[in-house]
Structure 1
């Protein structure tokens, strides 16, 4: 049995922490005008896509900046609609939460809106990593992300819980927001999307083998 090299493990962990921190700082800097949040987030997902494939980036900051500039306008085509719907849903949910007294029918609408917001948020978390793997139009990729989310309820629940725990930790220790706010969420989304794709592939292989 191969022994774990503790010192080597520390080096690898430190390297990944620094990568995540640099990527997050680049994401924050490129998102400062707010309107550039979409291409900035797209570049962050592109970076994690390469990392998930095992490809190395000699300079995290340089690759992020290159991807940010290269896909600047294209990122709005697919991501713009998703971000737009997400912002509207989140704003509506927030406004309804602030209402102290509401009528009974509005309570029903409120909880339907909450559920819709949660489901669409999870779909969006699947959509962005998936858009780096699949070709096709934005609506088709969004539909594929939705079916991936629905088809793997356990992974989707774990993704939601993981993101919630991360947000709680970041709010408890605000200094970490500068280093892991964006990179943490994107990392979780990429990891669970890859797991869902892998499980979907295994299901198809099993189904084909059973047919023959």
Structure 2
């Protein structure tokens, strides 16, 4: 009996390793053009001009490769967090890639443009102006950090919710501000994973992206459920108040968008 239990546990661990590594490899393949220039910019010697050229190419490629590939990866980890661990990785990944491509692309264009603008403004205020105006550069840096960190929620919401791109971005940023401890947990876990990957570079191929997406969606889903509970309580309170005042029931307006169905 003990040997059967050990074998069962071994098979489960092996299955999860295959899921994590398989989805990670799919993400690497679909993000390859972006990752190639990222690797070139940071790891191939060539001077600042060479690195700057590669970063501009990365900015152009990101909305069309990195963003759709990452939202598809979050579609896979969404299934795991919601208890559907046995779904086909390849089918789920490419279904999410196809369904979420436009939202991811347009969201990626917004995030990339705003990031570039904020980086340029930050450098201008910190280098070109005196100390009296450099505080503006610090403020821009803070907003830039919030913007980049909100990407975790953006990808989670793309995978989980039917919403317009503007609503996805707005809600991702708001949820980042309203639930800072959840986001801090995601950032810390991501930092640990990056540190481990530096120590063990093979994790780039077999786990870094998938584990990061899993942690990010887990924290998003926990925060999302708490927000939903508060919305339900507020709606119930308003229904009760309207019933007492008007003698009939009325409901709060539901958000424009719906949770994606399980399949």
TM-score after normalising by structure 1: 0.78
Name which of 34, 42, 51 aligns with 2:71. 42
Which residue number corresponds to residue 114 of structure 1?
141
Check the 8 A contact 1:38/1:83 in 2, yes or no.
no
Structure 2 unaligned residues grouped into runs of 5+:
35-60, 241-263
Q: Could you say which residue in structure 2 is the equivalent of 1:51? A: 80
2:183 alignment partner in structure 1: 156
User: 1:15 maps to which residue?
Assistant: 15
Q: CA deviation at 1:132?
A: 2.5
Q: Confirm or deny: 8 A CA contact 1:38 1:80 kept in the other structure.
A: no
Return the alpha-carbon distance in structure 1 between the equivalents of residues 162 and 183 of structure 2: 23
Counterparts of 2:97 and 2:161, CA distance in 1: 19
Q: Which residue does the alignment assign to 1:29?
A: 29
Deviates more, 1:47-56 or 1:180-189: 47-56
Q: How far does the alpha carbon of each residue in 1:61-104 deviate from its partner, in whole angstroms, 9 at most, with x for none?
A: 34424543565455313333234434655x559x95xx899842
Q: Are 1:173 and 2:219 an aligned pair?
A: no
Count of residues in correspondence between the two structures = 204
Q: Confirm or deny that 1:146 pairs with 2:173.
A: yes
**Rg (Cα) greater in structure:** 2
Query: In structure 1, the residue corresponding to 2:161 is in which secondary structure?
Result: coil
* Contact kept in structure 1, 2:96 and 2:159, CA below 8 Å: no
What root-mean-square deviation, in Å, do the aligned CA atoms of Structure 1 and Structure 2 show? 3.1
Number of the residue aligned with 2:222: 195
Instruction: Please point out which of 74, 81, 104 is paired with 1:75.
Output: 104
Equivalent position of 1:85 in the other structure: 114
Q: Is the 8 A contact 2:74 2:156 kept in 1?
A: yes
Q: What is the TM-score when the length of structure 2 is the normalising length?
A: 0.65
* Residues 92 and 52 (structure 1), Cα distance of their counterparts in 2 relative to 1, 3 Å cut: farther
TM superposition shift of 1:123: 1.6
After TM superposition, give the deviation of residue 207 of structure 1 in Å. Answer: 4.7
Which sections of structure 1, spanning at least 5 residues, go unmatched? none
